[in-house]
Amino acid sequence: MRRLALEAGDAIMQIYGQEDFDVKSKSDDSPVTAADEAADALISAGLRAAFPDVMLVTEEQADSHTQQADTFLIVDPLDGTKEFIHRRGDFTVNIALVENGAPTRGVVYAPAKGRMFYTQADGASVEETGPLAKDAVGPLRPLRVSTPDNSALMIVASKSHRDAATDAYIAKYAAKDMKSAGSSLKFCLIATGEADIYPRVGRTMEWDTAAGHAVLAGAGGRVVRFDDHAPLTYGKEGYANPFFIAYSPDVELKGP
């Protein structure tokens, strides 16, 4: 999964470096580029070869969205396509394994930022630093969520999907500072202790969140539904998520 993420990142950055690239619209009006498609083809072929008996769900293959299984791989080959199109760099490759409703393994790679996060075999999350060579794992930094000060929280919110409902919920907390980030990097910022809470009051799909959720869980963090604070689960019909909150467990959560 790590190697495939790095290879997909290379394919994405090759297109990112071009002067111009085509942007098409999918049936839900969300954008898709040649980079999404190239990364999807590469990752899908690699995962199907390595794990032929595990179901694969990927954003770019609509026929995979109707399948159901207790254990499955789920992929967003380029999360943050809007960030990619506007050349903001906050896009990621997301690959995750879900078992019995929970994402247990995940890789989040931000190729434009040179940041790589993933869960290890024991479930603990790390950030790999250094050259990010495909054939050799570099230095690893163990990840752990912050112990937040509830009178001075660091809040992270979406860069492309910020709205009045999100702002109204954020206003319930005492914030020291706020940062914006695109894609699944928001989960990783909580996993590293760079942020304390990320509320999402808006539409997401399971492929948007599974890898980041796994990385955050491996660093001691949690992701819960916005409405009743029950754990966010995976393998739902249509793979659509409810609103949710990702956070360090010492954050005193507020109600909707």
Could you report the per-residue pLDDT of 144-158, keeping only the tens digit for each? 999 999 999 999 988
Whole-angstrom CA distances from 2 to 63, 82, 130, 135, 138 are 25, 24, 14, 10, 12
Amino acid 223: pLDDT? 98
Amino acid 29: pLDDT? 59
Q: Among residues 221, 165, 185, 188, which one has the least CA distance to residue 112?
A: 185
Buried b (16+ CB within 10 A) or exposed e, 122-132: eeebbbbeeeb
Amino acid 159: pLDDT? 66
Whole-angstrom CA distances from 91 to 12, 74, 126, 152, 248 are 10, 17, 19, 28, 23
Amino acid 26: pLDDT? 66
Q: Which DSSP string corresponds to the chain?
A: -HHHHHHHHHHHHHHHTSS---EEE-TTS-EEEHHHHHHHHHHHHHHHHH-TTSEEEETT-GGGGG---SEEEEEEEEE-HHHHHTT-S--EEEEEEEETTEEEEEEEEETTTTEEEEE-TTS-EEEE-S---SSS---EEE-------TTSEEEEEESS---HHHHHHHTTS-EEEEEEE-TTHHHHHHHTTS-SEEEE-S-EEHHHHHHHHHHHHHTT-EEEETTT-PBP-S--GGGEE--EEEE-TTS-PPP-
d(CA 164, CA 132) in angstroms, rounded, equals 39
List the structure tokens of 252: 């005193």
Report the predicted TM-score, pTM, of the whole model to 2 decimal places.
0.94
Assign a CATH topology to domain 2-142: Fructose-1,6-Bisphosphatase; Chain A, domain 1 (3.30.540)
Amino acid 27: pLDDT? 58
User: Where in the chain do CATH 3.30.540.10 domains reside?
Assistant: 2-142
User: Where in the chain do CATH 3.40.190.80 domains reside?
Assistant: 153-247
d(CA 54, CA 223) in angstroms, rounded, equals 25
Per-residue pLDDT reduced to its tens digit, 173-212: 999 999 888 789 999 999 999 999 999 998 999 999 999 9
Domain 153-247 has CATH 3.40.190.80: yes
Amino acid 78: pLDDT? 93
Amino acid 19: pLDDT? 72
Relative to beta strand 204-205, strand 55-58 is unpaired
Low-confidence ranges of the chain (pLDDT < 50): none
